[in-house]
């Protein structure tokens, strides 16, 4: 078995699960979705009750789709406050002190709902503690608001295990951009080939980490998940399978 000096972990759907069923349900135009928009709208409507929820949600959803497409195409991050500024601008809410305060309140409401959806299975904390005893650890996440990443780690007793927490919102870039993988290497004075990266997204995690020379353990959620030309070094059915790779 190859020996590594460090393990870098992805956050969402790797270290922590994301449960969208904890979000509010929205029924509009005959479609049912889960969204933070009802919670966000309650904050927004205190100042701008003249805008209906239906109108607000359509702008909310449209901006989100556009940002998803833009992020994927350019591998850049659009921070959460910028997302909500775009919505308010399209609703022609005038900029100023009240506007800035409203953005802050909306982001807080949205991220409060998101935080409730992010939680680690109980066995993951025990695994992280065991990894920490033998390996240096870093977290590398595509997430559009860094305070929420830290809040989730703190809430679940995970914050102290990671020497580096690298979040796309701080860099303006997203995986698979090499910077997200190389920055924690630089800060921890590690070479990429001394690191095992663990993530669930083939295009972001496997391609990105292999591209800088890291070995990768891919958490393959479904047997139907496509495998590209970059081959992972290990395939996991669950995160706990790391124990078979990293502990003799």
pLDDT of residue 222: 73
Average pLDDT per run of 10 along the chain, which is 248 residues long? 92 96 88 93 96 96 96 96 97 95 98 96 96 98 98 96 98 98 98 98 96 96 70 95 91
Report pLDDT for 54: 95
User: Given this model, what pLDDT does residue 1 score?
Assistant: 67
Give the model's pLDDT for residue 230.
Answer: 77
Q: What is the DSSP string of 86-99?
A: HHHHHTTPPPSHHH
pLDDT value at residue 228: 66
For residue 38 the two structure tokens come to: 């009802």
Per-residue model confidence (pLDDT) at position 146: 98
Q: Provide the b/e sequence for 221-237 (b: ≥16 CB within 10 Å).
A: eeeeeeeeebebbbebe
Phi-psi region of 96 (alpha: psi -120 to 50; beta: other; left: phi over 0): left
Domains of the chain, CATH where assigned: 6-16+120-246 (3.40.50.1000), 20-117 (no CATH)
Parallel, antiparallel or unpaired: strands 24-28 and 31-35 = antiparallel
Q: What is the pLDDT of residue 77?
A: 98
């Amino acid at each position: 078995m190859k020996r590594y000096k460090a393990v870098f972990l992805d956050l969402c759907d790797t270290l922590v699960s994301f449960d969208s069923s904890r979000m509010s349900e929205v029924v509009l135009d005959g479609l049912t979705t889960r969204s933070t928009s009802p919670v966000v709208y309650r904050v927004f409507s205190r100042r701008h009750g003249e805008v209906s929820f239906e109108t607000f949600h359509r702008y909310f959803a449209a901006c989100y789709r556009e940002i998803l497409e833009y992020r994927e195409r350019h591998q850049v991050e659009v921070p959460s406050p910028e997302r909500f500024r775009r919505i308010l601008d399209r609703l022609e809410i005038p900029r100023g002190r009240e506007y800035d305060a409203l953005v802050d309140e909306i982001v807080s409401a949205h991220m409060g709902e998101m935080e409730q959806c992010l939680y680690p299975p109980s066995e993951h904390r025990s695994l992280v503690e065991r990894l920490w005893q033998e390996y240096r650890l870093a977290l590398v996440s595509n997430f559009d608001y860094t305070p929420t990443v830290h809040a989730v780690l703190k809430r679940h007793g995970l914050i102290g295990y990671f020497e580096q927490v690298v979040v796309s919102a701080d860099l303006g870039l997203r995986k698979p951009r090499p910077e997200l993988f190389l920055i924690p290497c630089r800060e921890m004075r590690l070479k990429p080939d001394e690191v095992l990266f663990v993530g669930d997204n083939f295009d972001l995690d496997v391609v990105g980490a292999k591209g800088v020379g890291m070995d990768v353990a891919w958490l393959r959620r479904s047997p139907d998940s496509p495998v590209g030309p970059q081959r992972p070094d290990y395939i996991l059915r669950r995160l706990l399978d790391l124990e078979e790779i990293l502990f003799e």
